[in-house]
Structure 1
Amino acid sequence: MSTLVRSEADADPEYWPGIANVPSGPRNKVAAALAEKIFAAAVNRLQLRVVYDDGTVLGAPGGGPRPEMRIHRPADFFARLGDNGLIGLGEAYMAQDWTASDLTEVMQVFAAQAAHLVPVPLQKLRGLYLPKPPRKERNTKVNTRSNISRHYDLSNDLFKLFLDDTMSYSSALFDANGPQLLDARWDDLPEAQQRKVDRLLDQADVGEGTRVLEIGTGWGELAIRAARRGATVVSVTLSSEQKELAERRIADAGLSDRVTVELKDYRAVEGQFDAIVSVEMIEAVGYEYWGVYFQTIDRLLAPDGRVAIQAITMPHERMMVTRRSYTWIHKYIFPGGFIPSVRAIEDITDRYTSLRVRERLSMGDHYAQTLRLWEERFLAHTDDVSELGFDQVFQRMWQFYLCYSRAGFQSGYLDVQQLIFDRRP
């Protein structure tokens, strides 16, 4: 067992124990030394410049510009890395053990080589020394409400600070015929979010008289746009904060007679629907429950109905390797979640349901730019975030989350897909 010592970070030990306290003890000393060797060997193969405050520099030979990672407290940094692997990397950033010239660019270098950072023999032993997902975070009917609440019930006012007026918390779809994607601006985001929603509704054939089920309400934008087409919408969420604001927005749009928002687990829904739409909800379902998720959709879908799902995805091989891992994202951002591969979705629907993927659209580059705009907006409102009661450790955590995610899409480690299903033989 590791013992703990206080960190120099500005972290409340009661609220941020993993940041305020640094692992220590004989076992951690060995783990930290091994982590330092693995880190140095990996960095010396990467197009990354790592600078210690004492002047030590690591990085692959060669010139040219490259992102810079600066390590301020190496003992703490490697103690965390040795104790918790990549969880420790994120915690070390939250504790300011290291900083970066461009956090996204640094994380992109790591993401692009994620499968090769740790030697293969040690990868095979990961289950022996890395933490496992807590049983209390498995997405059972009992646990799921708590998992969702920990993220989505943080504060509607917090999300308003970095989301656009549509309150859409998922990848936008920018105009391929308009300005270049990399030049996307904040003013482009609301239209791009509506374009994403409209494409899903179009593909699901949502129109006058359509009975729509939305799994995962968000803050109501999709339900509003479906209702404006003449559809009747049932939208389910497990976030009380989202339900409250979504209902207010729906009422302000004059559509309360067409939309019902229910605080309900998707597994408890009854009825039959012509279209079922779900935007970036499957990631919160959990690896063990994907079969139940799609079987539920299959049960609720009318015979000639269609399903439109927007899902973050990862390569199948990486999904299989990491499916039982406990990560920084689980611990601090999305407890109980896991990102599927397209192959896993197709295999599960083929095996357990009558649903078949009819069409899909890859839009990972669009998510990278969506996240860039969110990060810029978040950083521009840090004083407002503080006024809401979120401290500096939280703000570093949130920036790490946005940059970590964007790096995944920019490197190609992550993608986001719009998948359309029907019951075509």
Structure 2
Amino acid sequence: MPTVEPRAVARHRAGGPRTLPADAERWPDAAAVPRASWPVRAVTEAVVGRALRRLPLRVRFADGTTLGPGGPLIEVRDPKAFHARIGTRGLIGFGESYMAGEWDAPDLVGALTVLAAHAADLIPPRLQRLRGAWAQRQPDAQRNTPDGSRTNISRHYDLSNDLFALFLDETLTYSSAVFRGFPADWSLLAAAQHRKIDRLLELAGVGGGTRLLEIGTGWGELALRAAARGAHVTSLTLSKEQRELALERVREAGYADRVAIELCDYREARGTYDAVVSVEMIEAVGVEFWPVYFHTLDERLTPGGRVALQAITMPHERMLAARDTYTWIQKYVFPGGLIPSTTAIEQAVRDHTGLAVAARDGFGAHYAETLRLWRERFTGQADEVAALGFDATFGRLWSFYLAYSEAGFRSGYLDVQQYLFTKENPAR
């Protein structure tokens, strides 16, 4: 384990410019720069320099040195800290260096899109083969056991309903919208979210009298629209904050007799339903529990029923490389999370259920646009975020998270799918 030194001391040693102070109690790994030995720094500088020289970027260091043939600008304000973090913590260190203000980019999404597009070849093949020796492993504390899932979900979704309301539209929908065209305007986001929800409800065949199970409530918009169609909805969530607000919205809409929102793990669900819908919840399940998750979808569905699933996906070979690695997103945003591939989803359905894949539709460009609107809204309300008690390091963390996610979809590294799974009715 590398030792660390306070950032003020690290800046003095490096002779670098002043960067952002981080609260050492709240952000210990952003507030302190890891001590990296000379060989580690030298190898890191060589590997990072090799990668940056080949990419369509322009990287400017504090001493005026530049790398890259041209493209979006990355400004490295504290090169010693930047290389020390990457050398000791890899991509986690890259994100922490941004949180600490040691590097920045006028067009952050543009710069991250270039990096995402070349994610598979940033590290030389010989070093990639040694990944298991240097990459951090996911901590056991973030395993998505029933208790672990409650803790993991709470760390993100129980931050503050008011925080999410600052950058989500009035539907409070925290998943990809479906637009009619690009570029999209903020005023069109709520309608685009309803379009997405309605597509899922149509896929699942939800109408009057349908018994619907929703796994992952969010703030209740899908349950409300299903109830408006005459469905009877049981919705499951592990977030106390989300449940409280979703129940309030259900009561205000007059659907308390049609919508039940339970603080319940998907593994604890009971009963059978005509349809099941789950929107961008599989990413929080973890590879270890994907078989259980899909078996639950099957077990809770009546013969002849339909499952509509929305899932973020990544290429299968990248998923295999990442599934045991601890990432910046897991450390700071979605503990225990892992994005599946379409191959992994379809293998789990085939191997652990009696369901059939009836349809699949990808629309990653729509997620990039959704994230752009969220990011612009979030960064434009820094004072409001601060007024809720979130500090400047949190603001940089979340700006990076939203930009990093948008870049994943703009580069094609990430996609989002809507699936329809069906269950044969042997009685017919």
Does the 8 Å contact 2:36/2:87 carry over to 1?
Answer: no
Q: Which residue of 1 aligns with 2:27?
A: 16
- Structure 2 gaps of 5+ residues are 9-19
Q: Counterpart in 2 of 1:35?
A: 44
Q: Aligned residue for 2:308? A: 308
Counterpart of 2:126, as a letter, is P
Q: Describe how 1:178-197 pairs up with structure 2 within 5 A.
A: 180-181=181-182, 183-197=183-197
1:216–1:236 CA contact under 8 A, matched in 2: yes
After TM superposition, the structure 1 = structure 2 runs for residues 58-69 of structure 1, keeping only pairs within 5 Å, are 58-60=67-69, 66-69=71-74
Aligned letter for 1:101? Answer: P
Q: Counterpart in 1 of 2:255?
A: 255
Preserved contact between residue 36 and residue 88 of structure 2 (Cα < 8 Å): no
Aligned residue for 1:342?
A: 342
Contact 1:32-1:80 within 8 A present in 2 as well: no
Task: Check if 1:351 corresponds to 2:351.
Answer: yes
| 1:408 CA displacement | 0.3
Distance 2:93 2:2 in 1: 14
- Map Cα deviations across residues 100-131 of structure 1 (whole Å, 9 max, x no partner): 01101100010000000001111111111121
| Counterpart-to-counterpart distance in 2, 1:30 and 1:352 | 48
Could you state the TM-score of these two structures normalised by the residue count of structure 2? Answer: 0.95
In structure 1, what residue type is equivalent to 2:108?
Answer: L
Counterpart CA distance in 2 for 1:2 and 1:200 is 48
Moved over 6 A (4+): none
Overall identity of the aligned pairs, in %: 56
Give yes or no for contact 1:172–1:189 (8 Å, CA) kept in 2.
yes
Native 8 Å contact 2:36 2:84 kept in 1: no
The amino acid of 1:160's aligned partner reads A
* Equivalence for 2:173: 168
Q: Is structure 2 residue 6 aligned with structure 1 residue 6?
A: yes
Task: Determine the C-alpha separation between the residues in 2 that align with 1:87 and 1:259.
Answer: 41
Q: Is the contact between residue 304 and residue 424 of structure 2 (CA under 8 Å) also seen in structure 1?
A: no
Pick from 121, 124, 140: which aligns with 2:126? 121
Structure-2 separation of matches of 1:32 and 1:85: 12
CA contact (8 A) 1:33 1:82 kept: no
Deviation at 1:30, TM superposition (A): 2.5
| Residue 46 (str. 1) matches residue 52 (str. 2) | no
Q: Which residue of 2 is the match for residue 135 of structure 1?
A: 140
2:233 alignment partner in structure 1: 233
Find the residue that maps to 1:101 and give its secondary structure. coil
Contact kept, 8 Å, 1:11 with 1:393, in 2: the verdict is yes
CA deviations on 1:7-52 (whole Å, 9 max, x unpaired) are 14311111100100110053xx322221111110001110000001
Aligned residues: 414
Question: Could you say which residue in structure 2 is the equivalent of 1:209?
Answer: 209
How far off its partner does 1:380 sit? 1.3
Are the counterparts in 1 of residues 356 and 421 from structure 2 also a CA contact under 8 Å?
A: yes
- Report the more deviating stretch, 216-225 or 8-17: 8-17
Deviations 1:237-258 (A, max 9, x none): 0000000000011111110110
Tell me what 2:274 maps to.
274
Task: Give the 3-state SS of the residue equivalent to 2:54 in structure 1.
Answer: coil
Residue in structure 2 matching 1:149, options 117, 140, 154: 154
Q: Is the 8 A contact 1:204 1:275 kept in 2?
A: yes
1:258-278: CA deviations, max 9, x gaps? 000000100000000000000
Aligned residue type for 1:198: D
Q: CA RMSD in A?
A: 1.0
Q: Which amino acid is 1:58 matched to?
A: L
What per-residue deviation string (whole Å, max 9, x for no partner) do you get for residues 359-396 of structure 1? Answer: 11111000000000001100111100000000000000
Task: List gaps (5 residues or longer) in structure 1.
Answer: none
Quote the Cα distance in structure 1 between the aligned partners of 2:253 and 2:147. Answer: 34
Separation (CA, whole Å) in 1 of partners of 2:247 and 2:424: 35
Aligned equivalent of 2:324: 324
TM superposition shift of 1:424: 4.9
Cα distance between partner residues in 1 of 2:134 and 2:319? 19
Question: Is 2:296 the counterpart of 1:285?
Answer: no
Seen in structure 2, the aligned counterparts of structure 1 residues 75 and 226 have a Cα distance that, compared at 3 Å, is same
SS in 2 for 1:417: strand
TM-score (norm 1): 0.96
Conserved 8 A contact 1:11-1:95 = yes
Q: In the alignment, which of 54, 69, 76 is matched to residue 71 of structure 1?
A: 76
- 2:418 matched to which residue of 1? 418
Aligned partners of 1:209, 1:17: CA distance in 2, in Å?
52
Deviations 1:151-186 (A, max 9, x none): 0000000000000000000000012xxxx32x2000
Q: Which amino acid aligns with 1:47?
A: P
Amino acid at match of 1:17: P
Aligned-partner residue type, residue 140 of structure 2: R
2:146 is paired with a residue whose SS is coil
Matched to 1:139, the amino acid is N
1:263 is matched by which residue type in structure 2? L
